[in-house]
Structure 1
Amino acid sequence: MKILLAVVALLGAVLLVSQLVFRSRGAVARRWVAQEGALLLDVRSENEFAAGHLPGAVNVPVTQLSTQLGTLGDKGRPIVVYCASGMRSTRASSLLRDAGFSRVLNLGGMSAW
């Protein structure tokens, strides 16, 4: 029983820390967009994007990103990447960095905004 309680407490702490990290990313992301003209990149599917997205976001599904890199503009422009939960945005952020984009912020899930 003590082990179970310790595991639950540890998981709770991890979730709390992750929420704090994503909230701080949200503040940085909003600043990049407002002050530096960052591209807000939604890497969810077209259907998810059509159902709702952050204002001003551009949709390039992560499955199409490698073939659409040329449409994203200057590689020095800041890019804020998001999806539904953070899985696809993590993959997209890595792809962007590997392609030479120098200022990429993985917002994670859209709710972090």
Structure 2
Amino acid sequence: MGLLDFLFGNKGAKINDFKSRGAIIVDVRSKAEYEGGAIPGSKNIPLQTINSKVSEIKKWNKPVILCCASGMRSGSATAVLKSNGIEAMNGGGWFSLSKKL
């Protein structure tokens, strides 16, 4: 276990755990950014609209992995979902996340 794993947890293991339970990948970039390239099968819910989609996301009854361009917006979206009782994790940038899936 490396120092970063110790400090921040092993993201790869958490992603695999979420995937094994049917996690939904949500990309919180803008529609234009998403259309420029995204993880196949992911859902696009821009950060600005995440609050209005909480009840819809709860109905999925699945863990959620959030991503964006760098991990900043997905970090904000993760906090919103967690504060609403949704099991969520910040997957970081969509391109690096796609390599871990």
TM, length-normalised to structure 1: 0.70
Alignment CA distance shift 1:85-1:78 (3 Å): same
Q: Percent of aligned positions with the same letter in both sequences?
A: 32
Aligned partner (choices 79, 85, 89) of residue 94 of structure 1: 79
Higher helix share: 1
Structure 1 portions without partners, runs of 5+: 1-16
User: Cα RMSD between the aligned structures?
Assistant: 2.3
Give the corresponding residue for 2:91. 107
Ranges in structure 2 where 5+ consecutive residues have no aligned partner: none
Residue 40 (1) aligns with residue 14 (2): no
Q: Is the radius of gyration larger for structure 1 or structure 2?
A: 1
TM-score of the superposed pair, with normalisation by structure 2: 0.77
Counterpart AA for 1:25:
K
Pairing of 1:47-62 with structure 2 (within 5 A): 47-62=32-47
Distance across 2 between alignment mates of 1:75 and 1:90: 20
1:56 partner letter: G
**Which residue of 1 is the match for residue 11 of structure 2?**
25
Runs of 4+ in 1 over 4 A off after TM superposition: none
Amino acid at match of 1:54: I
Q: How many aligned positions are there?
A: 93
